[in-house]
Amino acid sequence: MGKSLRALMKLRAMLAVVCAAEATELFGLEVSLKKTEVLYQPAPQEVFYDPHITIGESELKPVQQFTYLGSIISSDGKIDKEMDNRLAKAYRAFGKLHKIAWSNKHLKKSTKISVYRAIVLSTLLHGSESWVIYCHHLWLLEGFHQRCLHTILNIHWTDHVTNVSVLEQAGVTSKEAMLMRTQLCWARHISRMEDHHLPKIVLYGELATSCHKRGALKRRYKETKDSLKQSGFIETHHP
């Protein structure tokens, strides 16, 4: 059953690439096969293998990660590399504004916070609507958030100010609350889609039959429904 399903998935991927190449030819365009890459995401407990997909005489290059719309997509489905990428870009954006904004005594605190929201936070949380977050991801985000606010508010670590007090002084929420807000907005967008749209099928989809080893299951994209159910935004069951 596993081999037949794997073969079916490979066939569907090949057909999708071939159909895309043929569709572009109808409009007088040409797909750059040298720049086209193939990423295979195996199911849990399944052995990874490099797919071999060819168009004409050219074989597409298999990769384990690539960047799509500014976000890193990995073959293991995790966001660790994307999290490192987001943090690195946010750190660079924050550092470049140090002399212009954070250490500028002529700017009000509210202005600095507005700049921080518009540039740094938007860079950090890009694509976070579909993130599958673990506790260690939240620790990284909250640590970055607190360090930035300490710098903006000129709070030294020897001042012994609590994280809650820092958030209150800045007038912002925690990273966990921000992520919940963005995912609620994304869930509202998905709930208005028609049932045949792929994001809605993935979010509300359930396996007919499944089995797993002992222990807790790894979180997936669809497990984001847990927090959304607690907020009362979406129903437990969907037709």
pLDDT tens digits for 126-176?
A: 988 888 888 899 999 999 999 999 999 999 888 889 999 999 999 999 998
- How far is 204 from 191, CA to CA, in rounded Å? 10
Three-state SS for 100-149 is HHHCCCCCCHHHHHHHHHHHHHHHHCCCHHHCCCCHHHHHHHHHHHHHHH
77 in Cβ contact with 45 (< 8 Å): no
Tell me the pLDDT tens digit for each residue of 29-66.
777 777 777 777 776 666 667 777 777 677 778 788 88
DSSP category for residue 98: I
Q: What local confidence, expressed as pLDDT, does residue 195 receive?
A: 86
* 10-19, 79-88, 107-116, 135-144: least confident range: 10-19
Please give the structure tokens belonging to residue 133.
Answer: 């977050």
- How far is 139 from 47, CA to CA, in rounded Å? 31
72 in Cβ contact with 94 (< 8 Å): no
Best-predicted range by mean pLDDT (13-27, 64-78, 219-233): 64-78
